[in-house]
Amino acid sequence: MSTPNPTSQRPRTIVEKIWDDHVVAPGTDGAPDVLGIDLHLVHEVTSPQAFDGLRERGLRVRRPGQTVATVDHSIPTTDRSLPIVDEIAAKQVSRLEENCREFGIPLHGIGSPHQGIVHVIGPELGLTQPGMTIVCGDSHTATHGAFGALAFGIGTTEVEHVLATQSLLQRRPKTFEVRVDGQLHPGVTAKDIILSLLSRIGIGGGTGHVFEYRGTAIRAVGMEGRMTICNMSIEGGARAGLVAPDDVTFEYLAGRPHAPQGADWEAAVAAWRRLPTDDGATYDRSIAFDAGELTPMVTYGTNPGMGFPITERIPDPARLADANQRDSLSAALEYMALTPGEPILGKAIDVVFVGSCTNSRISDLREAARMIRGRHVADSVRMMVVPGSTEVKRQAESEGLAQVFRDAGAEWREAGCSMCIAMNGDQLQPGQYSVSTSNRNFEGRQGKGGRTFLASPLTAVASAVTGRLSDPRALL
């Protein structure tokens, strides 16, 4: 049952508060609630059929000023002054340009200083704010949850619904508390927290739920670390994951182009301070672990839940009691060409990818640059560094980070999704191994036949310089 503006003092979670604030029409007679959407992010891949749907019905975009578009998935990350060679990708990009022009939507296209991965530019521009509902035709939309927003991925039909009505039919989700207290050791990062969670609950463990990440370790990783964690909520099956806003959030937001200013800022912060989950509120599920017990994590299989501490050995399917799990693990190890019992440390690798909406922000690049400075990428390895946005690229260049990467023998590229999704020509060759800071190690995700080890930027750099999967703590 939905409770649009409850007057009771029942303690509520942040998810319930945001939900209650956004009910346009409560679900009646078996229908879901209709939820108002504060911000709709649009990109070239999941939107063309939605715009066609609007045209077929003669509809306009209801709220262009709450909509923003960019290009990220299918664009090259090479010289931007050149035309896009891939004709199909070029057509998709020009279609987005035409659609934005026709429907009056602001577009940060190629050449714009604000172009970038959609989940990087929203926070960067201050568009992502606490308490909002944010959607995008992309499953990594939960990234924006780092600000205490309810942000989730939608399909193209729903993209059309939001374009036309700025609202969505939604069932109220269940809540899942993820509490991580304690303190991370040096060399262990936000990425390791989320990979550890996924290894504990599995790829479907959060289905039907929204994660609320809490605890001292979540508070301590900063906004960009929180974005890394929230980003991969979908890898645990949760459409959304969020962190209640605090002073760290407000400090990150203050002064950004679309953040409230002056008296509006003070009023906004006062409202945002009321968002955190009330004492006594309950969750449908909970899990807790201690950050101090974590080591650098890496995946060995073909979904993000198949991960373990980098010091472990490849698990043996024969030891699994459940036949389905045994089959899944066997298929994964066959694809990855890994042998039960072998250590993963020291596995020779071909490509290192630092980038994606998970780990391509300035703090990720600073961390990676700090480790690679004065070292060199192994001869056998190709290392690509792809900043998350044109602004991150500019900032990294002005801080000298780009030169550090180039001096180390890494490729420094233009902003985009790149080898996370391998739609744009940045891809693995069949059989190659990558260490990737991205979010998915599904079969073929980084190129047909490619094999992905997901890890943190530090683990990626350590592996790049040694040419083998390596524990970053040895290089600190």
Partner 1 sequence: MTGLSREPFRSVTSAVVPFPRNDIDTDQIIPARFLKTVNRAGLGEQLFFDWRYLPDGTPNSDFILNQPSMAGRAVLLAGDNFGCGSSREHAPWALMAWGIRAVVSSSFADIFRNNALKNGLLPIAVAPEVLDRLFALVETDPATSITLDLEAQELRLPDGEAIGFEVDSFARRMILDGTDELGYLLNLEPQIAAYEASHPARVDTLHA
Q: Which amino acid is at 305?
A: G
Instruction: Rule CB under 8 A: choose which of 16, 124, 158, 367 binds partner 1.
Output: 158
Q: Which amino acid is at 347?
A: K
Comparing C-alpha atoms, which of 364, 401, 426, 420 is closest to residue 118? 420
Q: Counting contacts by CB under 8 A, is residue 443 touching partner 1?
A: yes
What's the closest the beta carbon of residue 421 comes to partner 1, in angstroms? Answer: 5
Q: Which of residues 63 and 226 has its CB atom nearest to partner 1 in the complex?
A: 63
Q: Is 251 exposed, middle or buried (0-12, 13-18, 19+ CB in 10 A)?
A: exposed
Q: Counting contacts by CB under 8 A, is residue 208 touching partner 1?
A: yes
The residues in 244-263 that bind partner 1, with binding defined as CB under 8 A, are 257-258
Residue by residue, DSSP assigns 205-270 as TTTTEEEEEESHHHHHTHHHHHHHHHHGGGGGT-SEEE----HHHHHHHTT-TTS--HHHHHHHHH
The residues in 283-342 that bind partner 1, with binding defined as CB under 8 A, are 303, 324-325, 327-328, 331
What's the closest the beta carbon of residue 247 comes to partner 1, in angstroms? Answer: 20
Q: Which amino acid is at 270?
A: A
The residues in 114-143 that bind partner 1, with binding defined as CB under 8 A, are 125, 127, 129, 132, 137-139
The residues in 185-204 that bind partner 1, with binding defined as CB under 8 A, are 203-204
CB within 8 Å of 113: residues ≥ 6 apart:
390, 391, 394
Q: Counting contacts by CB under 8 A, is residue 239 touching partner 1?
A: yes
CB 181 within 8 A of CB 220: no
Token pair for 227: 């974005």
Q: Which of residues 53 and 222 has its CB atom nearest to partner 1 in the complex?
A: 53
Q: Which of residues 171 and 406 has its CB atom nearest to partner 1 in the complex?
A: 171
Token pair for 180: 């991580």
Would you give the binding string for partner 1 spanning residues 409-428, x where CB under 8 A is met?
------------xxx-----
Per the DSSP assignment, residues forming a β-bridge with 354 are: 385
Comparing C-alpha atoms, which of 240, 272, 35 is closest to residue 150? 240
Comparing C-alpha atoms, which of 455, 357, 462, 340 is closest to residue 408? 462
Q: Is 374 exposed, middle or buried (0-12, 13-18, 19+ CB in 10 A)?
A: exposed
Q: Which of residues 208 and 317 has its CB atom nearest to partner 1 in the complex?
A: 208
What's the closest the beta carbon of residue 315 comes to partner 1, in angstroms? Answer: 16
Q: Counting contacts by CB under 8 A, is residue 161 touching partner 1?
A: yes
What's the closest the beta carbon of residue 307 comes to partner 1, in angstroms? Answer: 14
The residues in 56-75 that bind partner 1, with binding defined as CB under 8 A, are 56-57, 59, 62-68, 73-74
Comparing C-alpha atoms, which of 417, 457, 454, 408 is closest to residue 434? 454
**Considering only 231-239, 350-358, 375-383, 463-471, which stretch makes contact with partner 1 by CB under 8 A?**
231-239
Q: Which of residues 13 and 167 has its CB atom nearest to partner 1 in the complex?
A: 167
The residues in 20-59 that bind partner 1, with binding defined as CB under 8 A, are 21-22, 24-25, 27, 30-32, 34, 36, 38-39, 45-46, 48-49, 52-53, 56-57, 59
What's the closest the beta carbon of residue 254 comes to partner 1, in angstroms? Answer: 15
Q: Counting contacts by CB under 8 A, is residue 467 touching partner 1?
A: no
**In Å, how far are 82, 96, 98, 132, 392 from 70, measured between CA atoms?**
18, 9, 13, 20, 15
Would you give the binding string for partner 1 spanning residues 389-408, x where CB under 8 A is met?
--------------------
Q: Counting contacts by CB under 8 A, is residue 171 touching partner 1?
A: yes
Q: Counting contacts by CB under 8 A, is residue 432 touching partner 1?
A: no
CB 451 within 8 A of CB 373: no
